[in-house]
Amino acid sequence: MAVTNISDLVSAYLTQNQNNSMDSIALISRKLTERIQSERKDTAVDLTRPDYVRADQERGRLLAYKSKVADELSAMTKAKGAVEWALSKVNTITALAQDTLGTTDPTKRDELVQSVKDALSFINDKVKGASQKIGYQTVNLVGDARAPDFKTDNLYIHTSDKGGRMMVEGAYMGSDYYIKDTDGFNWTYNEKDNTYVQRDANSNPTGETVSATIDSFDHDTGAITIGGGSLSGTLVKGGIGVLEPEFYNDFATDADIQNAIDDMMAAANYIKSKGASIKADATIMRNTDNSIGDRLRTLNKDIDAITREELDETAAKTKAASLKASLVINNINLVAQHNTALVQNLLDMTQGLSKAPGVFGAIGY
């Protein structure tokens, strides 16, 4: 704009000075804001802290171990439970059989027949239910055994998170049997048809069957004849070795009951002997898992404490930075206001004094 007098010149310089001052204030504000923002924490939790890294890595390693052994632990727990149930049921029917000895009450003998049937069915269901899927195969330490060897699975288990392993040898805890005839064929019972099925050396059915009616059975030698004399051979017991009541003549005499008691007591010893290592190994594995669980809980508490500490520090720094920002902004506002007032006063002075109001103004004052 054209400057015609000294007042215009001063006004122009003051106006320019005001603009420059406001630009300076804006620049100062921006730089201060950047400085304050740099004082804030970039992350809420510092995941690179050495103690946090160590705890997190250890937690990851232990979680990987627990995940790896979860199925093994399940298989061991199921096997241990089946062993305990088998022993409990055998002890129960043994006590009942001993209590039935000498009785002349046919009802008590009938009750013993039903109790033994129920107990054997329960035990076989329990050992069969101890199967566990591990990887691509199903493992059962105490069941799913088949004639003629009644062999169960073995299992290599992890015993520590440091890589320790051991083999658990399975043992059949159910009750089963087959008949071996004089020609070397094995015959297995088919409950659906109530028959015995002939099997070849590879355990495949040959197509020959015989009625399951028992003609005679010698408890001491195992010699047996079935099907109206159609089949003779030797009964081979598997697992705990307690048979169905018909092999004890449905407990018709005390001698029959005593034969059953002998088998039941032998079964209890078998379960205790073979099941002891399974139970012990299952306990070791469970204790290891519990110990790792305790360590994980401790690590989680440590990580939570570090996280809270980091969050508290973040909150404190953020609060301090926010307070500083508030103070700086207030100061900048005051400076800006004072600067604007100073410049405005100088601008007003370049315009001279205004005329007095009323009559004095009209006459030139």
Which has more pLDDT, 325 or 256?
Answer: 256
- Please state which of the ranges 25-34, 199-208, 209-218 shows the lowest mean pLDDT: 25-34
Ranked by mean pLDDT, the top range of 40-44, 47-51, 185-189 is 185-189
Rounded CA gap, 46 and 314, in Å? 10
- pLDDT, mean of residues 11-37: 58
Contact 240, 174 (CB under 8 A): yes
Taken in order 336, 342, 343, 347, the sign of the CA dihedral is: positive
Neighbouring C-beta atoms of residue 321, cutoff 10 Å:
17
What percent of the chain lies above the pLDDT cut of 90?
Answer: 52
Whether residue 211 has pLDDT greater than 80: yes
For the whole model, what pTM was predicted?
A: 0.71
How far lies 207's CA from each of 6, 65, 127, in Å? 130, 50, 29
Phi, psi of 244 (to 5 degrees): -65, 155
What percent of the chain lies above the pLDDT cut of 70?
Answer: 72
- pLDDT tier at 350 (50, 70, 90 boundaries)? very low
In order of their start, the domains of the chain are: 1-171+249-365 (1.20.1330.10), 175-239 (no CATH)
- pLDDT tier at 351 (50, 70, 90 boundaries)? very low
Which has more pLDDT, 91 or 42?
Answer: 91
Placement of tokens 């018709």 in the chain: 252
Rounded CA gap, 230 and 209, in Å? 10
Tens digit of each residue's pLDDT (9 = 90 or more) over 223-257: 999 999 999 999 999 999 999 999 999 999 999 99
Upper half-sphere CA count for residue 27 (Cβ side, 13 Å): 6
- Please state which of the ranges 28-42, 60-74, 81-95, 242-256 shows the lowest mean pLDDT: 28-42
State the pLDDT at residue 190. Answer: 92
- pLDDT, mean of residues 164-177: 94
Contact 171, 275 (CB under 8 A): yes
Rounded CA gap, 246 and 189, in Å? 13
Look at residue 358 and give its three-state secondary structure.
helix
State the pLDDT at residue 41. Answer: 52
